Amino acid sequence: MNALLLDTCTFLWIVANAPELSEKARTTFYDIENQVYLSAVSAWEIAVKNALGKLPLPDTPDVFVQEQRELHQIESLPLDESSTLYLPNLPQIHRDPFDRMLVCQAIKHDLIILTPDPMIKQYPVKTIW
């Protein structure tokens, strides 16, 4: 069994059944042997982008994220102190604060990130796409 952490875009593509989702990511996500998580950081990113008008949603972010997590059997991953305090250990590869924190969580919790982001793949973290 693998423990997977969804990048925010991956979560959005899964719930929309979008063609951008790679076949390998789709197969990995739907493998019932895997435990799948959505970080509170991604929920925060979705709420911020929705509030800025950059991410239209069919419902408010709090309803949308929770309903889609439950519908797709995705567990919530809280943001914990040890992950946030790991941030200074990361090299300055990626400027996106949301993605940097997902990397910290993946490292601290031994998670594989489902992501197409080439910047995330440069960190010492396991990824699948």
E strands along 1-129, which residues?
A: 3-6, 35-39, 75-77, 112-114, 127-128
* pLDDT, tens only, 64-90: 999 999 999 999 999 999 999 999 999
| pLDDT, the chain, mean | 97
pLDDT, position 19: 97
- Higher-pLDDT residue of 95 and 25 is 25
* pLDDT, tens only, 44-69: 999 999 999 999 999 999 999 999 99
pLDDT, position 85: 98
The vertex-23 CA angle with 60 and 50, nearest 5°, equals 15
CATH assignment of 3-128, among 1.10.1040.10, 3.40.50.1010, 3.30.70.141, 1.10.10.10: 3.40.50.1010
Would you put residue 17 in left (φ > 0), alpha (ψ -120 to 50) or beta? left
